[in-house]
Amino acid sequence: MQKFVRTECPAILAEKWQKWGETYAKNRERDPGFVFQWPQIEGQKLNQVLLPELQKMTRQHCSYCDGYPLRIADQTIDHFHPKSDARFYQEVCQWENLYAACRNCQCAKKEDYDEQLLRPDAPDYDFTRYFIYSFIEHTIHPNPRVSSNDQKRAEMTIKIFYLNEPGLIETRRIEFERYNSTDSTEYILDDFSFRFMLL
């Protein structure tokens, strides 16, 4: 998970996110099977408007696994606080609750949420604070030098996003080799996946 800085809430959302959240909450309370639909803005769905803004912040990487580039099927928006959880109905269109994510991370996380889960845009988040990277196994582990609470948070984040899934481990290994065989005067870090292991 690579740190990023969240930009200002887009104007369209700042004006209406609360109203949209309240409407969604009312609909869910009235009908528990109600399915969330992104509101329409001038003939465009809100998610289509927001996705480029969200991806700009992560430089087109997945917010959670840092996979790049995001293909069409991977261009999803994750609700960090799940929209199916009554505690978070109101946040369904809240800027701070929305993250550009790949399909794999969406499928891993599903409707899971834990208060310990780390956010890549939290002011105090940094990969090296919470995690260590094994360049032999290409696996991610909690940083043993931090508090037990921070270690628990790292563990929970690895588990919920399935960051040590075998396919992902292999993809990281291949990317690391590609990085090492690239002329260091020519590379652009953002052209690689998993930037946290390259820094």
C-alpha dist (Å) from residue 151 to 60, 134, 194: 28, 16, 21
Asked if 65 interacts with Zn ion (CB under 5 A), we say yes
Q: Which of 50, 62, 92, 108 contacts Zn ion by CB under 5 A?
A: 62
* Distance in Å, CB of 157 to Zn ion, minimum: 12
How far apart are alpha carbons 63 and 74 in whole angstroms?
Answer: 11
The stretch among 61-69, 76-84, 91-99, 163-171 that binds Zn ion (CB under 5 A) is 61-69
17 vs 64 by CB, closer to Zn ion: 64
65 vs 93 by CB, closer to Zn ion: 65
Q: Which residues 83-112 are close enough to bind Zn ion by CB under 5 A?
A: 102, 105
Residue 54 burial (CB count, 10 A): 22
Contacts of 30 (CB under 8 A, 6+ apart): none
Asked if 70 interacts with Zn ion (CB under 5 A), we say no
* Buried/exposed code over 108-135 (b: 16+ C-beta within 10 A; e: otherwise): bbeeebeeebbbbbeeebebeebbebee
Q: Which residues 136-165 are close enough to bind Zn ion by CB under 5 A?
A: none
Chain positions contacting Zn ion, by CB under 5 A: 62, 64-65, 67, 102, 105
